[in-house]
């Protein structure tokens, strides 16, 4: 990943007020476009999360069944690790997280590092979660089994957020996320703007259709009010 320093160019200002080729935007411009889009969609992302099959609470990010695993296979975050994380996530248990992308997974000396990017839907804030975990055999399982069942025991967890929020600080987020915007194969900025925001557009369309149905149903009564000299402040 490059160490090149990026700056916003005239193209960035043009694309925010006109049209431009996506491939011409540099990583920093994509990063700023994502932040603009998040701010614009702030009012609908909670609804996006509510209807998504992939959304999770913070608790379920820490402890959850393993994808494709058996019924007993889970990721487990011990209390001492959970206690090291910002308390605001535990206090606000109703917050919903939408997974955006797994950015990195690697193994070192029997431990696994995983970096995932989420959207905290309630505030349209990006969240980076770095998790270090070990794979451990479940009781009564042996390494000689054809497909031994395991658990993933979390060793450490670190969280960065894209905005200052209720005791959370954005310090270090941009530095951590920019290498993935710079990855020409990952195309993270394009992925977020095109794929993640498709769901936001769907929710907006749903809302507009619902308003149109209500307006159609209420139109006769609204016209009666008008004929009676009562103003409709719509």
Q: Is 79 contained in some domain?
A: yes
The per-residue pLDDT for 34 is 92
Residue 59: the pLDDT is: 96
Cα–Cα distance measured from residue 197 to residue 158, given in angstroms and rounded to the nearest whole number: 26
Q: 134-173: per-residue pLDDT in tens?
A: 998 888 777 667 778 889 999 999 999 999 988 888 999 9
Query: Whole domain around residue 119: which residue ranges?
Result: 45-186
**Helix, strand, or coil here: 35?**
helix
Q: What is the pLDDT of residue 25?
A: 85
Asked if the structure places residue 56 within a domain, the reply is yes
171 lies in a domain? yes
Please indicate, yes or no, if residue 134 is contained in any of the structural domains.
Answer: yes
Looking at the structure of the chain, the number of domains it has is 1
Q: Is 229 contained in some domain?
A: no
Q: Is 89 helix (H, G, I), strand (E, B) or coil?
A: helix
For the chain, 234 residues long, give each residue's pLDDT as a single digit of tens: 555 667 666 665 556 666 667 778 889 989 988 998 898 889 899 999 999 999 999 999 999 999 888 888 999 999 999 999 999 999 999 999 999 999 999 998 889 999 999 999 999 999 999 999 999 888 877 766 777 888 999 999 999 999 998 888 899 999 999 999 999 999 999 999 888 888 888 888 988 898 899 889 999 988 888 888 888 887
User: Domain for residue 61, yes or no?
Assistant: yes
pLDDT of residue 84: 95
Q: Residue 159: enclosing H or E segment and its boundaries?
A: strand 150-161
Report if residue 99 sits inside a domain.
Answer: yes
- Predicted local confidence at residue 132, as pLDDT: 96
Interatomic CA distance for residues 193 and 199, integer angstroms: 10
For residue 136, list its beta bridge partners.
Answer: 151
- Structural domain contains residue 21: no
Return the structure tokens found at 10: 């005239």
pLDDT in tens, 77-101: 999 999 999 999 999 999 999 999 9
């Amino acid at each position: 990943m490059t160490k090149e320093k990026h700056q916003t160019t005239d193209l960035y200002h043009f694309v925010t007020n006109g049209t431009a080729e996506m491939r011409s935007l540099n990583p920093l411009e994509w990063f700023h476009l994502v932040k603009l889009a998040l701010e614009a969609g702030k009012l609908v992302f909670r609804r996006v999360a509510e209807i998504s099959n992939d959304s999770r609470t913070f608790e379920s990010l820490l402890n959850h069944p393993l994808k494709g695993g058996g019924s007993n296979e889970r990721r487990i975050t011990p209390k001492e690790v959970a206690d090291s994380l910002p308390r605001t996530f535990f206090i606000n248990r109703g917050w919903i997280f939408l997974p955006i992308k797994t950015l990195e997974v690697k193994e070192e000396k029997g431990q696994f590092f995983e970096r995932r990017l989420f959207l905290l839907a309630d505030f349209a804030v990006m969240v980076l979660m770095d998790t270090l975990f070990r794979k451990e055999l479940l009781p009564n399982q042996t390494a000689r089994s054809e497909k031994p069942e395991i658990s993933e025991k979390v060793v450490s967890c670190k969280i960065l957020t894209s905005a200052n929020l209720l005791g959370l600080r954005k310090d270090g987020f941009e530095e951590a996320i920019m290498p993935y915007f710079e990855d020409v194969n990952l195309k993270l900025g394009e992925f977020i703007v095109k794929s993640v925001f498709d769901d936001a557009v769907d929710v907006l369309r749903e809302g507009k259709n619902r308003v149109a149905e209500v307006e159609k149903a209420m139109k006769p009564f609204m016209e009666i009010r008008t004929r009676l000299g009562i103003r409709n402040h719509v």
